[in-house]
């Protein structure tokens, strides 16, 4: 499991690096909104990297440690992954959000999770996140017209869908792969760089086409 989490940490950091370097290169005023999309994707990857690092380092017992682990895991699953899927859809549609809109969306994701958790619908919402993220990323594939971009977007969407729907916390058949808990971080480790490449290439392609 430690090797799988290590792979996830590396994959998430690499994804954040790809997106942030892409954002840094967009220096023109017209590219401010697309740059924000790349930075939102980079932030989501950093959240996931933080969660993987917490899982690796916080292996002691104790209520405080368990609370911190749970908080970092929730941050990755209920905020970071939906944020990344949103960045992919926004980049494909070439309809970028401003920074305040991304901030409101992130706060909304936190608030929605907390509300449903308090209403004791947490388990159902976990599966809803898995289905919704998979649907959004697959929708992004269908909306991508350029063949090369569609291929990398499809790879990212398939990896993420398998990770979430079959092996993740919201797996639709939770007991099917319960003995292979390392599969989720491994599949996520592959999905994150693919998603980053898809988002970055899509943003740059649309800017060149404009």
Q: What is the pLDDT of residues 51-98, one digit of tens each?
A: 999 888 877 666 677 788 888 999 999 999 999 999 999 999 999 999
Give every CB contact of residue 119 below 8 A, 6+ residues apart in sequence: none
Domains of the chain by residue range: 2-209
Split at pLDDT 50, 70, 90, the class of 48 is: very high
Q: Which fold has domain 2-209?
A: Rhopdopsin 7-helix transmembrane proteins (1.20.1070)
Q: What is the pLDDT of residues 151-205, one digit of tens each?
A: 999 999 999 999 999 998 888 876 666 567 788 999 999 999 999 999 999 999 9
Distance in angstroms (rounded) separating the CA atoms of residues 135 and 204: 24
- What percentage of the chain reaches a pLDDT higher than 70? 93
pTM of the model: 0.92
Residues 137 and 91 sit within 8 Å (Cβ to Cβ)? no
């Amino acid at each position: 499991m430690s090797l799988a989490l290590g792979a996830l940490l590396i994959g998430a950091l690499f994804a954040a690096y790809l997106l942030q370097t892409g954002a840094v290169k967009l220096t023109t005023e017209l590219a401010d909104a697309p740059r924000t999309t790349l930075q939102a994707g980079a932030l989501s990857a950093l959240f996931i990297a933080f969660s993987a690092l917490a899982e690796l380092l916080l292996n002691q017992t104790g209520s405080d440690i368990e609370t911190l682990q749970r908080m970092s895991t929730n941050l990755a699953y209920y905020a970071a992954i939906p944020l990344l899927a949103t960045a992919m859809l926004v980049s494909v549609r070439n309809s970028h959000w401003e920074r305040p809109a991304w901030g409101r969306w992130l706060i909304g994701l936190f608030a929605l999770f907390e509300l449903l958790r308090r209403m004791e619908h947490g388990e159902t919402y976990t599966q809803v996140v898995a289905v919704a993220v998979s649907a959004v990323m697959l929708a992004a594939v269908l909306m991508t017209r350029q063949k090369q971009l569609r291929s990398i977007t499809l790879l990212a969407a398939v990896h993420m869908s398998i990770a979430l729907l079959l092996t993740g916390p919201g797996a639709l058949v939770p007991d099917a792969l319960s003995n292979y808990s390392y599969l989720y971080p491994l599949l996520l480790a592959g999905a994150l760089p693919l998603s980053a490449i898809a988002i970055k290439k899509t943003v740059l392609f649309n800017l060149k086409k404009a």
